[in-house]
A and B are shown apart, each in its own frame.
Chain A
Amino acid sequence: MKFFLNVLKDKLAALSLCIIVVTVSVGIFAPLFAPHDPEEVHMELRFASLSWEYLLGNDHLGRCILSRLIYGIRPSVLWVFVALVLSVSFGAFLGFIAGYFRGKTDAFVMRVCDVMLSFPGYVMTLALIGILGVGLENILIAFVLSKWAWFARIIRTSVMQVAESDYIKFSKALGVSDIKIMVKHIVPVALPDIAVISSSSFGSMMLQISGFSFLGLGIQAPNAEWGMMLNEAREVMFSRPEFMLAPGLAIILVVSAVNFLSDALQVALDPKLMISKHKLQGLARASAANLQGKEVA
């Protein structure tokens, strides 16, 4: 609890958290918030500009842009989050086993990770979409399959550091079972690390997935998704560039909120960085530490 208060002391972090909470709840309860049906076509309202009835105007089929934006939260943010949770939990499971038991299990898991990580992220995702076919589910599956190795590797390192410490050796000497040691002593220490790693890749994952949708490999029409809305807007970009604004700004807002919160989490979790007089320097250093291996859309 104290840790959360630390994060919230930072005003920008608190604002980011608000943005994320609002976005997520609007996305979950989309039918309550959306003023219109996102798939309802009104050809007479094509490219209509802002009005009280349609707050953000209408797109090339006369659909309400605001409603599409709200329903787009589901694939663009919520489903990405599900994919993230899945790949992190799979990676965490293997990382815990490898980092705690070491030996042959560790060597095997790490060799598999080596092979997985030798395919650049984008190539792996593209290959899997190529095999499974286009569609949002396939992109998410491809993401889970190509990201877990990276999480497993990092979580293993953080578990290993804890597992080497004296109090774990002491519990082992006392005869506490392996499962109990993991649950009671290692999980609570490693959990913050996992939170930081996963939150820092959430932003780039959202960018990549919306990028794939933008290329037409993701969710298919008539469903609303931010990347796809941008793709639709691109077709009329030369005559009506203003249609690029709403979905683009939505992505930027959510991704920067996530990135900022992840940086703040990192500072809050690392006492060394918090005490330092140059807090911002700590921020930059903290985020540089896990930037390696990150890709941008």
Chain B
Amino acid sequence: MGNFIINRLLFSVPLLLTISFFSFILINLSPMNPAEVVLQAQGVPVITDELIAETNTKLGLDQPFLIRYIHWFLACMQLDFGISYVTGQPVWSLLGPAFLNTFKLTFVSVIAIIALSIGLGVICALREGKRLDKSVRGVSFFLTSMPSYWLAALLVWYFSVHLDLLPTSGMDSYQSYVLPVTVITINYAGIYFRIVRSSMLSNLNEDYVLYGKACGLSEKIITLHILRNSLQVAVSVFCLAIPTIFGSTVVVENLFAWPGLGTLSVKSILSRDFPIIQAYVLILAAAFVLFNIASDILNAAMNPKLRTGL
């Protein structure tokens, strides 16, 4: 097991390096000159060539490409992602709190999604083909085809405007969590509930269930066995779900004005604040890789068969 973890971590080093390199060249591919963007953002009325050259020197953009990359990389390792073009604040002072806020939102949503999809998946698998199963699947099919922002708008209109129960935006109290979490949960639970259900169903037809029945074990004990085996699939799926949801709260965050990464990134894109976009890509991709490693290790711990795979 120790070997597996070390192996997996070592494998991620070249991947992380490639990712950092990719995030770096991404910005350099932009059709716009960064110096020009900075000057525009600072509201300089007339942009002369001299001013651009001066800004280039100030930002270190006149140095060779590789040198810039190494400088940038070493700075990133110390959480120094440069300075925002627009506000002039250090990028980390903007990204750090936003990261934490998105993490809070994701954490609560993932817990809700896991609870809902395991609950529904198990119930539906045990009553396969019955009315409850059919109606839950019909509703979930409909909900996954619904744009999340539309659902969000409807919920805001009903609960915040019509009934005046919940805040429409911001992150002031625990009540602010209710609507964004509901929207994310409804969108994803439909997908994950189907995975839990189908993995339960495929386990129902396994030999060990037949054997258990032949031995005269009670329904309850057999169900517990099936549950344990099918949750293995669920664990790996949920581990992958965490980074996916973390990276895709963009629309919901913008709708509810949640002060997180999604709002920040869209704002930076609209104002062409390159250092923030760059840091955003780098941090999320690194988080994605680390989450994947964590999920592999967790899976290997649960299923010894997987340890030799790598």
Instruction: Report if A and B associate in a common complex.
Output: yes
Other-chain residue from B191, B240, B277, B285 in contact with A130 (beta carbon distance below 8 A): B277
Q: Does A73 reach chain B (CB closer than 8 Å)?
A: no
Give the A-B contact count at a CB cut-off of 8 A.
173
Cα–Cα distance between A128 and B278 once the two chains are bound (Å)? 11
Say yes or no: is B256 at the interface (Cβ < 8 Å to chain A).
no
A15 CB to closest chain B CB (Å) equals 14
List the one stretch of B38-46, B148-156, B172-180, B215-223 in contact with chain A: B148-156
Bound Cα distance A205, B128 (Å): 30
- Measured in the bound complex, the distance between the Cα atoms of B274 and A130 in whole Å is 8
Cα separation A294 to B280 with both chains bound (whole Å): 21
**B194 in contact with A287 (CB, 8 Å):** yes
Question: How many residues of A sit at the interface, in one of the four size bands?
Answer: 35 or more
A249 vs B299: C-alpha distance in the bound complex, in angstroms? 41
**Are the C-beta atoms of B154 and A244 separated by less than 8 Å?**
yes
Binds A, one of B52-60, B87-95, B261-269: B261-269
For chain A, residues 136 to 176, give those with C-beta under 8 angstroms from any C-beta of chain B: none
Partner of B15, one of A114, A122, A251: A114
The 8 Å CB contact of B147, one of A115, A126, A227, A259, is: A227
1/0 contact trace for A96-125 toward B, CB 8 Å?
000000000000000000110011111110
Chain A residue at minimum C-beta to C-beta distance from B149: A214
Contacts of B146 in A (CB 8 A): 248, 251-252, 255
Min CB gap B267→A, angstroms: 10
Q: Which residues between 210 and 257 of chain B lie within 8 Å of chain A, taking CB atoms?
A: 237, 240, 243-244, 246-248, 250-251, 254
Cα–Cα distance between A120 and B145 once the two chains are bound (Å): 21
A297 CB contact (under 8 Å) in B128, B134, B251: B251
A251 nearest in chain B by CB position: B147
Query: Would you call B153 and A256 a contact (CB within 8 A)?
Result: no
Nearest CB in chain A: distance from B158 CB, A: 9
Q: Which residues of B contact A248 (CB under 8 A)?
A: 146-147, 150
Tier of interface size on chain B: 35 or more
* B280 A281 Cβ-Cβ under 8 A: no
Interface residues of chain B, those whose CB is within 8 Å of chain A, are: 15, 18-19, 22-23, 26-27, 29-32, 128-129, 134, 137, 141-142, 144-150, 153-154, 156-157, 161, 187-188, 191, 194-195, 197-199, 201-202, 237, 240, 243-244, 246-248, 250-251, 254, 265-266, 268-270, 272, 274, 277, 280-281, 284-285, 288-289, 292
- Chain A interface (Cβ < 8 Å from any Cβ of B): 114-115, 118-124, 126-134, 203, 207, 210-211, 214-217, 227, 230, 234, 237-238, 241, 244, 248, 251-252, 255-256, 259-260, 278, 280-281, 284-285, 287-288, 291-292, 294-297
25 A-B pairs, CB-CB below 8 angstroms? A115-B18, A121-B248, A123-B281, A123-B288, A127-B23, A127-B26, A127-B277, A127-B280, A130-B269, A131-B27, A131-B29, A131-B277, A132-B31, A214-B149, A214-B251, A216-B270, A230-B149, A234-B153, A248-B147, A255-B147, A284-B201, A288-B198, A292-B237, A292-B240, A297-B149
6 extra interface residue pairs, beta carbon distance < 8 Å, beyond A120-B248, A252-B145: A123-B281, A126-B266, A130-B277, A216-B266, A234-B153, A281-B129
